[in-house]
Structure 1
Amino acid sequence: MAIFKKKLQVKPNTKGYLYRNNNFEQILNSGYHEFWDFKNRIELFCLPTSSKLIAVTNQEVLTKDNVALRFSFNILYKITDGQKLLTQFSLDRQITYIILELEQRICNIVQIFLRDRIAEMDSETLNEKRNELTEFKTEEMENQVFPFGVTIEHAQLKDLTFPKTIQDLFAKHLEAKVRAKADLENARTKVATARTLKNASELMKGDDNIKFFQLLETIGKIAEKGKHTFNFGDITQLTKNESAK
């Protein structure tokens, strides 16, 4: 009678969905299972329970200001309801092809959302806010994949590549901004220096000691030019007289 028994294997990190006479019968956990199958009408579909990564590369899109760019993104998804998933696809093929079609549908949904998000921004804004697109999963996106029995854990923008001419323009714009900032800082420094010198000058105007040293400096310069005779009384009184004039 053993010839009428069928041994089925469910590998680790998967769940088995057993169909008899083309009707769902039960869910099997990982391990080996034996069933009577007199008419050879049992079929097993195994689906992964771990998260799966989809990498999409080299996609094109136009920004709001009609700049063509390329982008790549990653999707991390997980099958949460395998029975629901199997009701959405034709089961007349191997499970590998069912998973491929599932991932293609997920990619199409996610790509449309990302394209729409990029297309509503002009290139300069997009370049400034590209970090905000790193994680772009939305509730609406989740709702659209829910009928497949899956959930999207992450939808992340990986690369965003502008044409070379646009990259050069961005580089020049950044250089101009840095130069303008440096010029502004230099101007502020000059204004602060001028203000300090003016304040110092105001303080020096009424200082008798400063005037005394200025007088000595003037006398020294005159003396350097030749032989001169200077007659002084009280030199401090002279500075006071100079101040009184």
Structure 2
Amino acid sequence: MSIFRKKYEVKPNTTGFFYRNHQYEKTLQAGIYKFWDLNNETQVYILPNTPKLLTITNQEVLTKDNVALRFSFYVWYIVEDGKKFLDSFALDRPMEEVWYEAENKIHSIVQLELRNRIAALDSESVNEQRMEFSDFKTKEIEEEIAQFGIRIEEANLRDITFPRNIQQLFAKHLESKIRAKADLENARTTVATARALKNAADLMKDHENIKFFQLLETYTKIAENGKHTFVLGDLKDWTKKSD
């Protein structure tokens, strides 16, 4: 009688959904099952319990200032409600085609959200804020995709590529900003140095001890050049002594 029993295998990390006569009957956990099936009316659909990765590359979008750029992103998703997932797609075809349609829906929903966010900004703002796009999973995306029994775990931007001429403009702009910053720092240093020298000069000008040491230094230099007579003190006092 085993010829009238159909055997199904549900492997680890997957869940099986048992249908009889195209009607859902029950959910099967990992294991091996045998069902009576006299008229070949049973079917088990296997869905993974682990996250799946969807990678989308080479997408094009126009920024607010009409610069065409390309971007890539990836999405980690998981089937959270297998019954709802199977109810959302036609099952009269291989499961590979069902997955293809499901991922196309995810692709369209996520891509539209990212396109709208990029298109609302000019190219320079996109370049400056590109890190803010790294995680663009939103409540709206989650709710829209949840109707298929799917939960989005991550939605991340991989890269944004600008046209070569725009990249060159950004590079020149960055170089100008760095140079201007360096010039400003040099100017501040020059002003600070000049202020310090002025303060030092004012200090030397008004300080009596410094004046005295400057005078001694002058006498020393004159004496080194030959024999000289120096008169220190009041000249009138020396005149009186001579008399």
TM-score (norm 2): 0.91
Matching residue's letter, 2:32: Y
Q: Establish whether residue 107 from structure 1 lines up as the match of residue 92 from structure 2.
A: no
Q: CA deviation at 1:18?
A: 0.8
Matching residue's letter, 2:75: I
Q: CA deviation at 1:209?
A: 2.5
Q: CA deviation at 1:182?
A: 0.8
Distance 1:30 1:105 in 2: 28
Q: CA deviation at 1:11?
A: 1.5
Aligned to 2:232: 233
Distance 1:41 1:120 in 2: 53
Distance 2:13 2:129 in 1: 38
Distance 2:201 2:216 in 1: 19
Aligned to 2:128: 128
Distance 1:5 1:233 in 2: 131
Q: CA deviation at 1:205?
A: 1.8
Q: CA deviation at 1:43?
A: 0.9
Q: Establish whether residue 11 from structure 1 lines up as the match of residue 24 from structure 2.
A: no
Q: CA deviation at 1:114?
A: 0.4
Distance 1:79 1:116 in 2: 26
Per-residue CA shift, 1:108-155, capped at 9, x if unaligned?
100000000100111111111101100000000111111100010000
Task: Say which SS state the counterpart of residue 148 (structure 1) adopts.
Answer: coil
Percent sequence identity is: 56
After TM superposition, list the pairs within 5 Å mapping 1:131-210 onto structure 2: 131-210=131-210
Task: Say which SS state the counterpart of residue 187 (structure 2) adopts.
Answer: helix
Question: How many corresponding residue pairs?
Answer: 235
Q: Establish whether residue 88 from structure 1 lines up as the match of residue 88 from structure 2.
A: yes
Distance 2:34 2:173 in 1: 70
Distance 2:168 2:220 in 1: 62
After TM superposition, list the pairs within 5 Å mapping 1:214-233 onto structure 2: 214-219=214-219, 229-233=228-232
- What are structure 1's unaligned runs of at least 5 residues? 239-245
Q: Establish whether residue 68 from structure 1 lines up as the match of residue 68 from structure 2.
A: yes
Distance 1:223 1:144 in 2: 98
Structure 1 residues 197-206 or 80-89, which shifts more? 197-206
Structure 1 residues 10-19 or 206-215, which shifts more? 206-215
Distance 1:207 1:219 in 2: 19
Q: CA deviation at 1:231?
A: 3.1
Distance 2:199 2:137 in 1: 60
Distance 1:57 1:167 in 2: 20
- What are structure 2's unaligned runs of at least 5 residues? 236-243
After TM superposition, list the pairs within 5 Å mapping 1:28-43 onto structure 2: 28-43=28-43
Matching residue's letter, 2:163: P
Distance 1:14 1:59 in 2: 32
Q: CA deviation at 1:229?
A: 3.8
